[in-house]
Amino acid sequence: MPGRLTGQRGQALLLVLVFVAAFLLVVWAALTLASGAFLNLNGVRADTRQTYALDAGLAYAIETNDSAAKGAGCQPTVTSFPLTYGSSTITVTATSTPVVGCKTNKPSYTVLVQATGTSRTLTAQITSANGGKKASWAIDWESFQ
């Protein structure tokens, strides 16, 4: 009987090594997917932060033109302000340019919003229905790039 088993020595070790290798391959794949998901989450957070900053710049441009117009619309304005998100600060700059043929009783502006730390911009057109008086602005269109 001992002579028949001598040819089978180490076969169990090979079987265990194959299972360990397969298990390690599965663990490696899971960790790779998990790290990719964490990296993507940080990208989504950064993208969301930038989008909110650009959107806040448009709202700020509307408010600035609302305060600056006082019935004498069609004046270009450039404003900038800091936004703090967690430990970082983003500086947002909103440039309002009167559209061609702008009327003081119904001013319209093309607004370009840019934020530090991003190459993305927001461009929009805003219009006032009653000479730039309070709470009368509408966003005609906007685009993110």
Is pLDDT of 25 > 90? yes
For the residues 86-93, what does the mean pLDDT come to?
87
Residue where the block lists tokens 């040819």: 7
Please determine, for residue 82, whether its predicted confidence score (pLDDT) is greater than 90. Answer: yes
- pLDDT tens, position by position, 113-142: 999 888 889 999 998 876 555 657 888 999
CB atoms within 10 A of CB 136: 14
Please provide the average confidence, as pLDDT, over all residues in the chain.
Answer: 82
Give pLDDT, residue 135: 59
The stretch 30-57 carries a mean pLDDT of 82
